[in-house]
Amino acid sequence: MSGRPERLFPLFGALESLDGIGPKSAQILDKAGVSKPRDLLFTLPHNGVDRRLRVDVTQLVPPMTATVLVTVEAHHPPRSKGRPYRVVVRDAATSFQLVFFHARSDFLRRQLPEGARRVVSGKVENFDGVIQMVHPDYMLSEEKAAEIPEFEPVYPLHAGITQKAMWKATRSLLGMLPEMPEWADQALVAREAWPSWAEALRLVHAPANGASLSPTHPARQRLAYDELLAHQMTLALARRKARRRAGRPSIGTGRLTEAVIAALPYRPTGAQQRAFAEISADLADGMRMNRLLQGDVGAGKTLVALIALLTVVEAGGQGVMMAPTEILARQHYDGLAPLAAEAGVRIELLTGRDKGRERASKLAALAEGDVHILVGTHAVFQDDVHFHDLRLAIIDEQHRFGVAQRMALGSKGQAVDVLVMTATPIPRSLALAQYGDMDVTVLDEKPPGRTPVKTALVSKGRIEEVVAHLQKAIADGRQAYWVCPLVEESEVVEMTAAEERFKRLRSVLGDGIVGLVHGQMPPAEKDAAMARFVAGETKVLVATTVIEVGVNVPNASIMVIEHAENFGLAQLHQLRGRVGRGSDASTCLLMYEPPLSDTETRRLEILRETEDGFKIAEEDLSMRGAGDMIGTAQSGLPRFRIADIERQPDLMRTAQADARAFLEKDPTLESERGEAMRLLLWLMEQDKAIKLIGVG
């Protein structure tokens, strides 16, 4: 596929080619992320001003914008310096004043000769009983009045760029729009009554009224869809490329998985059974699996992972499960080992701690195929780790591993299937944006036997009561987490806060009772402190947010979160998920510093109302927006100019289904619609996708 198609050249030229944009404006726009005409085209007005002609200003409720035909009656230049210049005009019903500051008398007399008729448009205000229009936006003769748009779009501005310049530039841009073939699905366009691409742009840049500015307006929906379709085409092409690399069918016999399920004290949930079925179907077909397993805290992902691992062992292969930290790897190992023993399967743990002879013997057994399942940290990536026949790699907490690491693991075997697990519930629209190249399985039920966590809000002033409550719980043999405030941008301040809290709690509760973990500690110290808490040697663990993912201490039944109002919803939910893992009734205390803003109050109340991570994630998305929610820097989320995945989740779903279905029919984009699709990808700067077409 050669370079950018010629018909798109004008949209990728210089901004200065547009009316109203000189070198200086172009520089300002460039800083704001608008570097070429195409970017300006997708900068849509966010508001509008009604400039329809009115009979007179008495019909209005000031302050508001009005356009009226007036006769100029008299000029009143200022009597002293610093006073305004006033021009009295009369419309069909009344006289009012046009007011100018720092105005030149000769200019105004030329523009507004006494006795002349003019159409003026601007903001009308009532100032001490006098109706005024200060610095009208337009003052035109009747012949030229048609130049005033009836409904004028208002663009998001950057210092130094005026609305007039944006209006001029976008008009000249609309004049050079190339005609494009239709890339959207014809049936969808007809069903939604969408205009064509060029027509949609003309409509959004020349809105007829306030309703035209709404994201639900067909023209806006259409343009948002184009953006999402290009994004989903890129992901679908990547997915297709990954799947076309032949996989190796791993067909289980059911011998080991049935033994494990029979040994469980409970029945798997419906969601778990659905996950078993989807994953075993993926393993059995000839394509490589690339699946995301999403499940809320405590939804039983570990069992699903084990069933997948045992399926490849039944087929004669090996599996590996990888976690981001040694503690999590050990925890997975401790959870899986007794169940693997039921099935008579050999499982080993490999971390950075394994040294010398012990490590060598594990590696030898792995290479011989005597170890069926390996659990580990990124130590499993090292060059001297060889598998006999690796079929499945399971990666826990995906966002901690880059795509490059996923691929390195995939290269350890021949056509390895990949299953990624995350305990972060992601609203569906975001999951499609972020993991659209993967198939997604959601565990949305909790296994029986987990005790609900009681969540309470406590003001910071009651800290003494909280500590007394803690003392009593420790005396009853229970354990607690104490999470210190999140300090924006500074791990050092966070560390100091944690150390202070640690010292104060230690002075009340006694030596050896309280442990401390924070992000600045050397990893070995952190691991040792966590291990003491897991073993029950320390009773209270003071921590910054390093404990939010995965740590499992069934005896810990109290979670105190200091300055809870500074945390995001998803983070609070993750932290709360660390308790309620045993049979004891558990409590999560959200300690806040009054007064709370409305948003903070709403956030803490949502947590008090529900433990459903998906519900919480949807709320979080609507309160904070997508970029904030995942942390824009590492979110891997695309930046959309028009589409709004919080408010248009259905469009994202439709775009994904459309892209995948279309590629089934035309994988190399050779058909008429395929050619149009290529234009769309160039237009949306999806160069990655364009390379992928070439690769097939």
> Which of 214-223, 232-241, 359-368, 609-618 comes out lowest in average pLDDT?
609-618
- pLDDT tens-digit map of 352-374: 888 889 999 999 999 999 999 99
- For residue 526, name the pLDDT band (cuts at 50, 70, 90): confident
Of residues 599 and 408, more confidence is placed in 599
- Residues 6 or more apart in contact with residue 371 via CB below 8 angstroms: 318, 346, 347, 348, 362, 365
Q: The CATH number of the domain where 79 resides is what? A: 2.40.50.140
**Conformation bin of residue 72: beta by default, left when phi > 0, alpha when psi is -120 to 50:** beta
Do 163 and 103 reside in the same domain of the chain? no
Mean per-residue pLDDT, 466-488? 87
Of residues 316, 312, 318, the one with CA closest to residue 282: 312
What is the bridge-based pairing of β-strands 138-140 and 130-134? unpaired
Q: Does one domain contain both 398 and 460?
A: no
- Distance CA(61)–CA(56), nearest Å, equals 12
Last residue of a domain, one of 128, 148, 168: 148
In a domain, 658, yes or no: no
**pLDDT at residue 154 greater than cutoff 80:** yes
Last residue of a domain, one of 129, 148, 167: 148
427/341 same-domain check: yes
Q: Domain end: 443, 471, 492, which one?
A: 443
- Domains in the chain, number: 4
CA angle, 627 as apex, 622 and 633 as ends, to 5°? 160
Between 410 and 214, where is the model more confident?
A: 214
443 within 8 A of 304, measured Cβ to Cβ: yes
φ/ψ bin of 19: left (φ > 0), alpha (ψ from -120 to 50), beta (otherwise): beta
Distance CA 446, CA 568 (A): 23
- CATH number for the domain spanning 272: value is 3.40.50.300
Q: Do the domain assignments include residue 590?
A: yes
Q: Which of 546, 534, 613, 480 is CA-nearest to residue 324?
A: 546
**Is the pLDDT assigned to residue 313 strictly greater than 50?**
yes
Whole-angstrom distance, CA of residue 108 vs CA of residue 118: 13
Q: For residue 68, with 0-12 CB atoms within 10 Å meaning exposed, 13-18 middle and 19 or more buried, which class applies?
A: buried
pLDDT at 167 over 80: yes
Q: Are strands 417-422 and 390-396 parallel, antiparallel or unpaired?
A: parallel
What pLDDT is attached to residue 474? Answer: 93
Residue 61 lies inside a defined structural domain of this protein: yes
DSSP 187-226: HHHHHHTPPPHHHHHHHHHS-SSGGGGSTTSHHHHHHHHH
Work out the number of other CB atoms within 10 angstroms of the CB of residue 270: 11
Residue 383 sits in the same domain as residue 415: yes
418 & 460 share domain: no
Judge if 59 and 42 occupy the same domain: no
Is residue 615 situated within a structural domain? Answer: no
Q: Is residue 119 a contact partner of residue 137, using CB atoms and an 8 Å limit?
A: no
Q: How high is the pLDDT of residue 243?
A: 66
469 and 431 both lie in a single domain:
no
Q: For residue 359, is it within any domain?
A: yes
From the number of C-beta atoms within 10 Å of its C-beta (0-12, 13-18, 19+), residue 6 rates as exposed
The token pair that represents 21 in the structure block: 């944009």
Whether residues 382 and 499 fall in one domain: no
Q: What is the pLDDT of residue 349?
A: 95
Per-residue model confidence (pLDDT) at position 380: 84
| SS3 (DSSP) at 296 | coil
Whether the per-residue pLDDT at 400 is higher than 60: the answer is no
Contact, 160 vs 28, CB < 8 A? yes
pLDDT digit string, tens, across residues 83-117: 899 999 999 888 998 999 888 888 998 889 888 99
Mean pLDDT, rounded, for 377-389: 86
What's the Cα-to-Cα distance from 157 to each of 30, 32, 104, 347, rounded to whole Å?
A: 13, 10, 28, 61
| Confidence grade of residue 635 (pLDDT, cut at 50, 70, 90) | very low
Do 421 and 467 lie in one domain? The reply is: no
Higher local confidence (pLDDT), 150 or 495: 150
396 and 535 belong to one structural domain: no
Q: Alpha-carbon distance 119 to 115, whole Å? A: 13
* C-alpha dihedral, 295 to 298 to 299 to 304, nearest 10°: 90
Most confidently modeled of 188-197, 524-533, 570-579?
188-197
**301-314 and 255-263 are packed helices; what angle lies between their axes, rounded to 10 degrees?**
150
Q: What is the DSSP letter of 254?
A: S
479-483 and 540-543: which strand pairing?
A: parallel
The b/e string for 391-414 (b: 16+ C-beta within 10 A; e otherwise) is: bbbbbbbbbbbeeeebeebbebbe
Q: Tell me which residue of 44, 439, 442, 414 sits closest to 227, measured CA to CA.
A: 44
Better pLDDT: 280 or 287: 280
Handedness of CA 317, 323, 326, 328 (dihedral sign): negative
Residue 15, pLDDT > 90, answer no
**pTM of the predicted structure, to 2 decimals:** 0.63
Q: Are residues 472 and 530 in the same domain?
A: yes
User: What is the C-alpha to C-alpha distance for residues 588 and 538, in angstroms, rounded to an integer?
Assistant: 19
Q: Are residues 194 and 267 in the same domain?
A: no
The b/e string for 194-207 (b: 16+ C-beta within 10 A; e otherwise) is: bbbbeebbebbbbb
What is the DSSP code string of 2-60? -SS-GGGGGGGS-GGGSTT--HHHHHHHHHTT--SHHHHHT----EEEE--EES-GGG-
In this prediction, residue 490 carries a pLDDT of 60
Does some domain include residue 132?
yes
Query: Which of 335, 357, 333, 332 is CA-nearest to residue 347?
Result: 333
CA distances in angstroms from 181 to 199, 662, 674, 695, listed in the order given:
12, 16, 10, 24
Domain residues for the domain of 301 are 255-443
Residue 622 lies in a domain: no
CA distances 387 to 336, 344, 368, 413, Å, are 20, 19, 8, 7
Count Cβ atoms within 10 A of the Cβ of residue 146 and give its class: 0-12 exposed, 13-18 middle, 19 or more buried: exposed
115: three-class secondary structure by DSSP = coil
Q: Is residue 639 part of a domain?
A: no
Share of the chain above pLDDT 90, in %: 34
Contact 543, 482 (CB under 8 A): yes
pLDDT at 215: 83
Rounded Cα distance, 599 and 604, in Å: 9
Rounded CA-CA distance 693/696 in Å is 5
Q: How many helices (H) and strands (E) does the chain have?
A: 25, 22
412 pLDDT exceeds 80?
no
Specify the long-range contacts of residues 534-539, CB closer than 8 Å, at least 24 apart: 534/327, 536/479, 537/512, 538/512, 538/513, 538/514, 539/474, 539/478, 539/479, 539/480, 539/509, 539/513, 539/514
- Is residue 521 very low, low, confident or very high in pLDDT (cuts 50, 70, 90)? confident
What confidence tens digit (pLDDT) does each residue in 227-264 have? 999 988 888 887 777 666 667 899 999 999 999 999 88
